Amino acid sequence: MTREIKFRGKQAYGGAGWKYGNITGSPDRPHIEEVNKIGEHSYHLPITEVVPRTVGQFTGLRDKNGKEIYEGDIIRNVKGLVKTQSGEYEDDAEVFVVKYEDAKFNVSYYAQVANSLEIIGNIHDNPELLEGDNQ
């Protein structure tokens, strides 16, 4: 099975939101070409310049809610309930940023337990989620 190769980036020049699709342009002026598929037909939308530091590649994985996981996403991995010292039960979870390192996505390790992964934000819109030791 092959993974769909696509990217996302935040629209440049005060534009609204994220753009998803093929990447074109140069590293210092990337553009995203969005493609809408309706049935068997594909419609290419206008090419949009995006902020270079926000560009991230699709990992080929989806979280437990079906959302596509991209580089730069902040992921919560729920390992299950554990008993604390006070005798209460709480979710044992870790939070990490999806990165491409050593020729692979660091989230690939969790591919077999994807039903425990949940996107809680991304490093561009939600940097506050990384405060403390959650990196």
pLDDT more than 90, % of the chain: 38
The predicted model gives 40-52 an average pLDDT of 84
Please give the pLDDT value at position 82. Answer: 55
**Are 122 and 73 contacting, i.e. CB atoms less than 8 angstroms apart?**
yes
Tell me which of 21-25, 41-45, 52-56 is least confident: 41-45
Q: Write down all domains in the chain, each with its CATH number in brackets.
A: 1-54 (no CATH), 61-135 (2.30.30)
Q: What is the pLDDT of residue 51?
A: 95
3-state secondary structure the chain: CCCCCCEEEEECCCCCCEEEEEEEEECCEEEEEEEEEECCEEEEEEEEEECHHHCEEEEEEECCCCCEEECCEEEEEEEEEEECCCCCEEEEEEEEECCEECCEEHHHHHHHHHHHEEEEEECCCCHHHHCCCCC
CA neighbours within 13 Å on the CB side: how many for 17? Answer: 2
pTM of the full structure: 0.79
The pLDDT assigned to 89 comes to 60
